[in-house]
Each structure stands twice: as C-alpha cells, then as structure tokens.
A and B are shown apart, each in its own frame.
Chain A
Amino acid sequence: MAENIQVKPTANTTNRLKRTRTNGFKAFYFKREREILGGGAIFLFFVVWEILGASGIFNPMFISSPSRVWAAGVAYVESGLIWNDLRISGIEFFSGYLLALIVGVPIGLLMGWYWRVRAILDPFVSFFYSTPRIAFLPVLIIWLGIGMGSKIAIIFMMSVIPFVVNTMTGVRTIDQNLVKVARAFNASDLQIFRTIILPGAIPSIISGLRLGIGLGLIGIVVGEMYAANAGIGYRLMEAGTMFRTDLLFVCVLIIAGIGIAASELLVRVERIFDKWRPDRS
C-alpha cells in the first residue's frame, strides 16, 4: 500500500520534469517574462548610453556615460564623503518623516471622526494641500538656518499633508454600517476606534505613507540644494555647479534607490493586509 502511494507522485513529478526540460528555455522565459523584459530594457539603455558617451557625438561632459558614473561612484565611496552625506540626509529624512507621521496620522484620525475638528482644521489643510509646500523653504531657512532644522521642517511639511488627508479619507470612507453594528453591541467610542476605525483606515494610511516618501525626498533634495553644507542633495548641487555630470548621476541614482527601496518596503507592509481585501491578491 505504502509503496503504491509513493510511486504515484514520483511518476507524476518525473513527467512534469520531462515536460519542463523539453522546452526549458521557453518555460524559464514565460515564468520571468516581466523581469527579463524590464532588465533587458535597462541593460540596453546603458549600452546605448555608453556608446553615445564614447562615440564623440555628444560631449561626455554633458551626458557622461555608465563607466564614468561608475568610476565617480567608486571615488565617492572611497573618499568617504558618501557616508557623511547619507548620514545627514538620512537623519533629516527620518526625523522629518517620523515627526510628520506622529503629528499627521492622529490629526487625520480626529478630522475623520469629529466633523467639528474637520471644520476647524480644513481651511489650513486645504491651503497647504493646494500650495506647493516647497515654496516655504526660504522662510523655513530664515527661521531655522541652513542646518538640519530647516530640512527636517520642509520634509515634515511635504509629507504631513498626505498623511493627514489620507488618514482622514480612510476614516471617512469606513462603512457606517460597521459602526452601527458596534453601537448596537453597546461599544464604547474607544472600542469603536480600536476595532473599526483604526483597522479600517490602515490601507488608506499606508498609501499616504507611500505618497509621503516621494514628497519627503523632494523636500530633502530641494532643501539641500537650496542651502546646506552636506547631504546627498548638497553633493548633487555641488556636482552640478562644477560640471561633474558623472557625480551628479551618482547622486540621482542614490536618491532614486532610496525612494524605490522605501516604497517597496511599504508595499510589503501593505501586502500583510491583502488577504482580506477582495480587490487585490
């Protein structure tokens, strides 16, 4: 009996293996088509860029080339400047972003739940929502100087608005029938908040957090470009004024990498909630 049971799956597996082996490449390609197409496009882009940089059609001082960017990147790492720049920009970004989180989400929850709070704060939120908040940079520098303070403040201002708005929308779009059920079970406001409002608003809060990353990165780059003495944005500006397009692209790539990594992290967090969402997975 036991042998019988063992034999069956083995036969099955060899069959399947055979099928994969006969058209191994095709199977591999179709399984990873997305990655192969995307990766291939990037590779092609770099090849064309390198050829154009070496061909003499364009001045390499303007367009640089992958090999030059690579060399500049290695030099940047070896000089040790990169670590200080990353540290400064990192501290600025996380302080500003965290502060925005601590302030923005509770305000959003209150605005979503209590219409009076919403009525009071709405003019301010609307104002900051529709203004390019980066315009406040000069005044922040007047108040806080060119050090980290003004950068933290601009990152805070950039990312706090999507936190507030998304959290508020999340709370407001919660199915009121759920609240009615909780009330019928005599739930306290705190219980309603803990069991319905917070879990119900979380998907919307997370998409706010993702928006905040992009906006926070704009804040940090523009802030450091405008007035600073260290940081990735500062290095970017410096490279630009010295016509160092290679170093400039290195900085752009670092910022892009951080942005992609941070959003990817939040996508992972978001997936935790996927199993109960009908529209995903």
Chain B
Amino acid sequence: MQLKNFIESPCGLRYMLDQLDLQSGFARRWLLDSSFMTRGEDIVGTYDVLHRFTEFVYQVEPLFINTLNHKLCGLKDIRTTIKNLHGNSVLDDIELFEVKHLALLATEVKALLKQHGMDGVVEIPPMDEVISILDPDGMRIATFYIYDSYSDQLKALRIQMRQHPEQQEELLLQANKLEDGVRADLSRKLHPFAVSIENAQLALARIDVNLAKALQMKQMGLTFPVLSNDGTTRYEAMFHPQVKEALAQRGREFQPVDITFGEQPTLITGANMGGKTVVLKTLTLCQLLFQFGFGIPAAAAQIAVKDEIHFCIGDEQSVEKGLSSFAAEMKNIDAVIQASRMEKKILALIDEPARTTNPTEGAALVTALLQVLADKDMSLVMTTHYDIEPGKARCLRVKGFENGEMNYQLVEVQDGEVPHEALNIAESLGIDSEWINTARNLLETCP
C-alpha cells in the first residue's frame, strides 16, 4: 500500500499532507508513491534521516532554509527523459536541457547542505561529468542549446547564417543535420550516467520531503516516536492537529489525551461529545504517520508496528455507493474479522459499531464482536454507547462533564458501564425542555 491509498482516510491524513510545505510537484508524487513501512528497521532508518533534518532546521537561519527551498522549487519531474536515456534514445534539446538543469541543481543543493555537514545524510551522486558534457564552455548556467563549441563546422555555418540571412533556410537545414549528430553524441556520452541522474532526482525529492517533514514537526510541535518491542502502544498528550487548529480558530483549546493499549481489546465508553471519535481518528492518524515516517502529534509516543490498519467509522460516503449505513458498516467490520484470521498484525479502530440498529440486537452484535476478536492476535480499540459485558476487554471511560465543562481525559474503569449523561448534555445544548423533561419522566416511570 502507498501513501496515496490512505489520503482520503477519514482520520485526517490529507490535512497533514496539505500542511506539508513541499517545494516541488515531483517530491509530492514521490511521497504519495512511498510505501507503508511494515519493517521496524525501515521505520527507524527513515526517522534517523528525519532526525538529522530536524536538528538542521533548528540549527540554521530561516534565511538559509529559504535559500535551500528556493533551489528545491526548481526540481522537475524528468522521469520520461531519464527513461529515454536508459533506453539509448537520442535526446532532444528540451531533454538535454532538463538533464543539465537537474545536474546543476543537484550540485548546488549538495554544496548548500555541505555547509552544514548535511551532504551525506541523503546521498546525492556526483554530477560533474554530466555537467561537463552539457556545459562545454564551463558557464555553469542552467540554459542549453547545441553550442558552437561542439562542432567547428556548426560554428562556421552559424557565422554564415548571420552574414547571409537570405540563405538562412538552406543553412538551417545543413546545421540541423550537424546538430542531430551532436545530440546523438551527447546522448551516447550521457547514457552511462542514467542511473546517477535518476538517483540525483530521487535524492532531491527525499531532501525536499525530509525538510518539509522537519519543518512541520517544528511548526506543529510533533514528536519522534519510539519503536515498541512488546506490542504496547502508548501516547502521552496525544492531539489531532486538524481538530486542534479548528478549535484554535474559535478561540478554544484542544485537551490532549493519554492512552495506552496492547493486544488486549480496549473498549472506550463515555458521554456524547466526549471526544471518543476524535480519539479513534487520532490513533489512526498517528499509526499512519508512524508507518510513513512523519512526526507524531503527541508529547511522547511509543508505537508498535502493524501490518494493517482498519479504521471503521460510520461514514456518509457509503450512501453514495448505494449501501445503507448499516450494510456498509457490517462489511467494513467483516473485513476486520477476515483479516484477523490471517497471520497479520492488525490494528482495528471501530467507532460505535451497530449504532444504527435497535439496541437489543446492537448490544448483542457488539458483545459478540468483542468475544470473536478478543483471542485474535490484534490490537482493537472500540467505542460504544451500549451497556455490554466487556469480557476480556479493558475499559476506558471519558471523564465527562465536570463543573459544566467537558473533561476529555480517559480513565480506566472496571466495567463497561456507560454513563447516562445524554439528557444533561442535551440540556446544556439548550435543547427544547419539553422534550428533555418528558424523556426524564419516562426514565423515572419505567427504569
């Protein structure tokens, strides 16, 4: 799976990518094509590189970052040209220009990074020979044409052209033939460097991506995660950057949450509006960010690597697909059960399963789901409003309303008893009192 497959996930990954200040479209494509890492050493290696870039971002002047970013802006997607070079085709002027432009850019970026001892962090292959092929006069300017110095004959023809404009058409024909010869010769000379040129392009994309990730870490206050060895995932002061930003715009503050879970199922209960869905969204987001090597929105994080992430949230898109919300949800959860029977490490985050059906069957479905998944080798975090028997599950509860304010913190409780705060919350929202009071009376008469 690649990053682009997760971008529309309702956990808010797109926001993180939109907030990433990438300089080139090529780097963005490269990032979107990058793979979901499932090997601990790959993840650690990726964070090692990002670590160096983060230190660098804190060390150097913002002006220097601007200069570097300005250079990286010039990175173009020249994969077609590189493919032609690999395939031994004769490159045309535009393609030769692209190669020269990339070679000069790679050299300049390398020199800039070297000033801060960063040149070896992402290896940029040397481009000197490529440049000398395409810059015969040693001008070191990123422009290109078939220069006079490639061929004395060509040079003579061009002088003639200027002196006798009336013969231009005829002379141009002769010149074109000579130019074609030069292009063939240049392409032949460049062919052995095709791999280095390709690597230089990838290296620049990696630098762009790492620099953007490092700046995002600094700007959003993200942290480096620790790889968990015992299957336990632990977040301290975890937050959701998009929700945090939306709250900040309304002058409110996001209350960070601490949460730990392992391979024992975790059941989260709590009042409406208690942030249960946001917790699941954030857990999904953090796991994805971890396995694509981004900074983690928390004060501290220790995360276990997973092979698959399943985030099941009652989503409105299912209506467009012609499924009822219940059918769509059942199918999503079914996929979790099927996956849990494979030899895979799974993280499943399920938001209020079976919420759209009647409470009797709904509660039965949820209790059964917990039982079916409890013995599987997987991490499960689930929210519910139903009063159910937690079985082997660990129960967490949102603290809920305290002195008229919502406390979003999670506390461990012994049973899965759900709080009965819906009426109080509805009242605090200013909902019609006739309705609420009638409901209250009903509860009192038939408990």
| Chain B binds chain A | no
User: What is the interface of chain A, defined by CB distance below 8 A to chain B?
Assistant: none
User: What is the interface of chain B, defined by CB distance below 8 A to chain A?
Assistant: none
